[in-house]
């Protein structure tokens, strides 16, 4: 079964092709002109495009040129009533895989489609091989010097060999949970397929199920066509659900069913779709506490917590700070052999900092310091923004109220600004510094921004 996009300004032609191809098990999407077809190709993976040549605004040749520029080009078959030798030659020179004239016979169409899908499978296999090679080359870049992280990587490597085992990665924001998830995928038998990642906290509640499971045309306002969800996109590979603790309760039951039954239903659909996916979840929240507070389903927690991995914060593995800092310094300077990277004063500041934003904060800090240092070794002045600064000295008004008074809202804004600066704009880490939950921090930040 293939996912095929038909592009033609004649509704009857699209309808005929949809019936022909649908009867042979293919999924078919339609576009009436080139621009909308290009938009669909950029948002959803297709195995084949069947396109008319003469269309308004963007013709078939222009569409083919744009497809050839894509990271993952799709085979194109041209179908037209205006067939000439010159147009056929032009189509093949530009990269079309075949050319069919109207009116066409069903057998001719099906034969051409099967030939093109063979080319599509070869192209997909080549992409997988390239991704596999790139994945293998990224593994040596992982910096692992602390005993705690060596244990994490050892456990990750063990579970990687079990391609169906669900993994739950816990740890503070910025500790590298997605890095470990990709490591598991890259070292697993699934490494030749897709690694699909989604941040559950970044998807609106109304679109969570459509994002994960897809939707049928007309399922809700704005659903003008069928769309695959991330489970289908990750078929054969790995689906990484980051910030799983933020998944709405009403969506958790459907996720549990997908994990248990290995089937999904698109929103607005009735068809049971089998999916072969390893799911890796991650969170910086205490899921057991969320279960006690009835904010997270207990059965889902047990289902995703089959193989737990906890990544310790950077402050608990200080021996990793300098190796990581040196790695980032060489990376941002693009000088792998540079040996004089930090002065002793700079090293002292790096080791004394608490790193509430963890490895992400460290990477951001080193990138900033590299810019400030220029060609010189990074010194203490280049890292001055990391030096401890008391709230009193920063605000100048916390302990001593000035005669003219002060607005509490201004003080709160200043504290939030400082917390974001100290954590390289990591909202979760900033919330911890202020003793707030992330949701309360975000709510207050939004209120202050709207009020300013």
pLDDT tens-digit readout, 333-374? 876 666 678 999 999 999 999 999 999 999 999 999 999 998
Query: Residue 403: its pLDDT value, please?
Result: 57
Lowest-pLDDT range, 135-144, 158-167, 270-279, 413-422? Answer: 135-144
Q: Is the pLDDT of residue 98 over 70?
A: yes
From 386, 408, 431, the end of a domain falls on 386
From 386, 407, 425, the end of a domain falls on 386
d(Cα 225, Cα 308) in Å, to the nearest integer?
A: 38
Residues 307 and 420 in one domain: no
Query: Residue 261: its pLDDT value, please?
Result: 93
Residues 64 and 170 in one domain: no
Query: Residue 139: its pLDDT value, please?
Result: 44
d(Cα 233, Cα 236) in Å, to the nearest integer?
A: 9
CATH number at residue 119: 3.40.50.2300
Q: Is residue 109 part of a domain?
A: yes
Residues 369 and 412 in one domain: no
Residues 186 and 278 in one domain: yes
Which H/E stretch holds residue 294? none
Q: Is the pLDDT of residue 86 over 90?
A: no
The answer to whether 448 and 409 have CB atoms below 8 angstroms apart is: yes
Q: Output the average pLDDT for the chain.
A: 85
The answer to whether 177 and 169 have CB atoms below 8 angstroms apart is: yes
Which residues share a beta bridge with 215?
A: 227, 267
CATH number at residue 418: 1.10.10.60
Q: How many structural domains is the chain composed of?
A: 4
Query: Residue 53: its pLDDT value, please?
Result: 86
User: How large is the average pLDDT for residues 131-148?
Assistant: 59
Query: How confident is residue 57, by pLDDT bands cut at 50, 70 and 90?
Result: confident
Residues 96 and 183 in one domain: no
Residues 346 and 229 in one domain: no
Which H/E stretch holds residue 274? strand 273-274
Residues 181 and 255 in one domain: yes
d(Cα 121, Cα 17) in Å, to the nearest integer?
A: 21
Which H/E stretch holds residue 215? strand 214-215
Residues 127 and 77 in one domain: yes
d(Cα 162, Cα 120) in Å, to the nearest integer?
A: 29
d(Cα 258, Cα 304) in Å, to the nearest integer?
A: 12
Residues 431 and 351 in one domain: no
- Vertex 442 angle, CA 437 and 445, to 5°: 125
Query: Residue 394: its pLDDT value, please?
Result: 42
- Burial of 47: CB neighbours in 10 Å, binned 0-12, 13-18, 19+: buried
Q: What domain range is 361 assigned to?
A: 315-386
User: How large is the average pLDDT for residues 264-271?
Assistant: 90
Q: Is the pLDDT of residue 325 over 50?
A: yes
Q: Is residue 105 part of a domain?
A: yes
Q: Is residue 291 part of a domain?
A: yes
The answer to whether 329 and 287 have CB atoms below 8 angstroms apart is: no
Query: How confident is residue 83, by pLDDT bands cut at 50, 70 and 90?
Result: low
Residues 254 and 333 in one domain: no
Q: Is residue 197 part of a domain?
A: yes
Query: Residue 2: its pLDDT value, please?
Result: 85
Stated length of the chain: 452
CATH number at residue 258: 3.40.50.300
Query: Residue 337: its pLDDT value, please?
Result: 65
Residues 11 and 157 in one domain: no
How do residues 417-429 score in pLDDT, each as one tens digit? 877 877 777 788 7
CATH number at residue 337: 1.10.8.60
From 386, 412, 440, the end of a domain falls on 386
Q: pLDDT > 70: what percent of the chain?
A: 88
Q: Is residue 204 part of a domain?
A: yes
Residues 300 and 321 in one domain: no
d(Cα 27, Cα 14) in Å, to the nearest integer?
A: 13
Lowest-pLDDT range, 89-98, 188-197, 252-261, 304-313? Answer: 89-98
Q: Is residue 43 part of a domain?
A: yes
- Burial of 448: CB neighbours in 10 Å, binned 0-12, 13-18, 19+: middle
Query: Residue 393: its pLDDT value, please?
Result: 42
Q: Is residue 139 part of a domain?
A: no
How do residues 117-135 score in pLDDT, each as one tens digit? 887 777 776 666 655 555 4
Query: How confident is residue 137, by pLDDT bands cut at 50, 70 and 90?
Result: very low
What DSSP string runs through 27-56? EEEEESSHHHHHHHHHHS--SEEEE-S--S
Lowest-pLDDT range, 142-156, 244-258, 378-392? Answer: 378-392
Q: Is residue 289 part of a domain?
A: yes
């Amino acid at each position: 079964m293939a996912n095929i996009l038909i592009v033609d300004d004649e509704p009857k032609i699209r309808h005929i092709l949809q019936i022909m191809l649908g009867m042979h098990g293919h999924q078919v999407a339609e576009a009436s002109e080139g621009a909308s077809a290009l938009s669909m190709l950029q948002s959803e993976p297709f195995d084949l495009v069947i396109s008319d040549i003469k269309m308004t605004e963007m013709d078939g040749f222009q569409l083919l040129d744009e497809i050839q520029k894509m990271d993952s080009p799709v085979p194109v078959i041209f179908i037209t009533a205006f067939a000439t030798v010159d147009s056929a030659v032009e189509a093949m020179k530009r990269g079309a895989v075949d050319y069919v004239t109207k009116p066409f016979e069903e057998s001719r169409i099906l034969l051409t489609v099967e030939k093109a899908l063979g080319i599509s499978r070869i192209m997909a296999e080549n992409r997988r091989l390239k991704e596999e090679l790139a994945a293998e080359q990224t593994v040596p870049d992982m910096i692992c010097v602390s005993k705690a992280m060596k244990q994490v990587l050892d456990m990750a490597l063990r579970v990687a060999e079990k391609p169906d085992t669900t993994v739950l990665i816990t740890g503070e924001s910025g500790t590298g949970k997605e890095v470990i998830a990709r490591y598991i995928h890259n070292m697993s038998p699934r490494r030749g397929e897709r690694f699909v990642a989604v941040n559950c906290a970044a998807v609106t509640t109304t679109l969570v199920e459509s994002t994960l499971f897809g939707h049928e045309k007309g399922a809700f306002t704005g659903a003008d066509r069928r769309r695959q969800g991330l489970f289908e996109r990750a078929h054969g590979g790995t689906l990484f659900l980051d910030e799983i603790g933020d998944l709405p309760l009403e969506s958790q039951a459907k996720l549990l069913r997908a994990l248990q039954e290995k089937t999904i239903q698109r929103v607005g659909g009735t068809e049971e779709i089998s999916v072969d996916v390893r799911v890796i979840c991650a969170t910086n929240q205490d899921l057991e506490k969320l279960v006690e507070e009835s904010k997270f389903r207990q059965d889902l927690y047990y289902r995703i917590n089959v193989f737990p991995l906890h990544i310790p914060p950077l402050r608990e593995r200080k021996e990793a700070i300098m190796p990581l800092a040196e790695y980032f310094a060489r990376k941002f300077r693009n000088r792998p052999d540079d040996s004089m990277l930090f002065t002793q004063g700079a090293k002292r500041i790096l080791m004394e900092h608490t790193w509430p934003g963890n490895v992400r904060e460290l990477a951001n800090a080193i990138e900033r310091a590299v810019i400030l240092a220029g060609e010189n070794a990074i010194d203490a002045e280049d890292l001055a923004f990391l030096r401890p600064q008391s709230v009193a000295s920063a605000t100048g008004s916390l302990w001593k109220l000035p005669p003219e008074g002060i607005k509490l809202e201004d003080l709160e804004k200043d504290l939030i600004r400082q917390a974001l600066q100290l954590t390289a704009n990591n909202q979760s880490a900033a919330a911890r510094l202020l003793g707030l939950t992330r949701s309360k921090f975000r709510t207050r930040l939004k209120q202050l921004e709207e009020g300013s």
